[in-house]
């Protein structure tokens, strides 16, 4: 009974953050973890897409971020930091409340405390996954990923002065997913959450 109460208390204040470049399975895994541990799930990418919708973009397309419209919205973000700043401020507020899992590229650098996980994968593997997901040729998927990531990295470097995908110092756990199935990655992350993440002091 005491152990159960302790676990519930840990979850009530838990702040988990999962990050990784497109094609690592980050969002799918984050949602599964949030469901398993009854954590509120918030996605920085989804919040940015909602802002894009308010600007008149049609975000219904599968793989929207890698589409011409998604890349155009990246240009909007590069010219006006209000989009990213609004989303990041909201995610930080969610983190203060606890019992949350944040799916975000920026929170690992902006958030104090919490447990931060980075999912790593090669550009070849990620492009192959995106190509399959969005039913496009591999070469096209890779080109779009590289363009999207180059622009996104420039935005975060200018706004917050960190190197997305290169600087992994904020992370408590880094997992290379290249040779793992989605189920295997999920099992590893559950083990990490059960045995490490819930014992870490959070915000």
CATH number of the domain bearing residue 22: 3.40.50.300
Low-confidence ranges of the chain (pLDDT < 70): 1-12, 199-203
Total structural domains in the chain?
A: 1
Residue 5 is predicted with a pLDDT of 41
- Residue 4 in domain: no
- Residue 97 in domain: yes
Residue 170 is predicted with a pLDDT of 96
pTM of the model: 0.89
- Residue 91 in domain: yes
CA distance 74 to 132: 23
CA distance 59 to 31: 20
Residue 13 is predicted with a pLDDT of 79
- Residue 11 in domain: no
Q: Which domain holds residue 73?
A: 18-107+115-198
Residue 4 is predicted with a pLDDT of 43
- Residue 49 in domain: yes
- Residue 5 in domain: no
Residue (of 14, 25, 45, 27) closest to 175 by Cα position: 25
- Residue 1 in domain: no
């Amino acid at each position: 009974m005491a152990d159960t109460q302790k676990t519930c208390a840990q979850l009530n204040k838990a702040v988990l953050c999962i990050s990784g470049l497109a094609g690592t399975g980050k969002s799918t895994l984050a949602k599964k973890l949030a469901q398993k541990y009854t954590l509120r799930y918030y996605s920085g990418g989804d919040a940015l897409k909602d802002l894009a919708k308010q600007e008149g973009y049609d975000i219904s397309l599968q793989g929207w971020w890698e589409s011409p419209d998604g890349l155009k919205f990246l240009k909007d973000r590069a010219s006006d930091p209000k989009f990213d700043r609004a989303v990041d401020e909201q995610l930080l507020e969610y983190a203060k409340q606890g019992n949350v899992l944040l799916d975000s590229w920026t929170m690992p650098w902006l958030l104090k405390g919490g447990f931060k996980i980075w999912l790593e994968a090669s550009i070849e593997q990620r492009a192959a996954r995106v190509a399959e997901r969005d039913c496009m040729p591999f070469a096209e998927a890779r080109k779009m990923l590289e363009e999207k990531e180059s622009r996104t990295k420039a935005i975060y470097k200018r706004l917050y002065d960190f190197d997305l995908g290169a600087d992994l110092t904020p992370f408590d756990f880094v997992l290379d997913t290249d040779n793992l199935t989605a189920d295997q990655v999920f099992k590893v992350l559950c083990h990490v959450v059960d045995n490490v993440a819930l014992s870490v002091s959070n915000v």
